[in-house]
Amino acid sequence: MKFLIVGLGNIGDEYANTRHNIGFIVADAFVLNLKGKFETGRYGAIAQVSFKGRTFIVLKPSTYMNLSGKAMRYWMNKENILPENCMVITDDLSLPLGMIRIRAKGSDGGHNGLISIIENIETTEFPRLRMGIGNDFAKGYQVDYVLNQWTKEEEKVLIPRIEAAVEAIKSFSTIGLVRTMNVFNTRDA
């Protein structure tokens, strides 16, 4: 079985370790956990890792968040992977810091990366792992908030949650999406 894991984020040092890049951070942790390594590929950094007989193509798009769908569509087609065997990892302002929510499908929720993916693969029916980044910002400062770096206090909360997200991706590939949602969606941040 082959899976495509897509961590959403923006390339460049100025975006490293920002809230909006939690998808890249989880993708890095997943690949590191399975002793893989990213290489430069078409439309992004690509790694291929294995776990319990499953092959994972892990993508960190280099197209910037707003064009993530172009990269995902390319790798889905190249590797012949169906939407149900994809998992998109994204930040979510509506969830408390560190909370994980896995869904089988859904709307874009106003997230530019998800908007691009839905437009490019022409379906909303693909699994996504949403990582809560909180919403501790004044009205009108959403962009500043998501593009700012994590605080030291946030990092302490986040580290074990990133590890949980890695385990959730493994679980998705072995016990299936529904059982994974039942396990990981009930855990508190």
Torsion of CA 4, 108, 8, 11, to 10 degrees: 140
Helices 22-33 and 152-174, axial angle in degrees (round to 10): 60
Identify whether 111 is a catalytic site residue.
no
* Helix residue ranges per DSSP H, 38-151: 68-79, 112-121, 142-146
Question: How many CA atoms within 13 Å lie on the side-chain side of 160?
Answer: 7
Which neighbouring-strand residues pair with 44?
Answer: 41, 61
Q: Which of 3, 6, 18, 20 is catalytic?
A: 20
List active site positions: 20
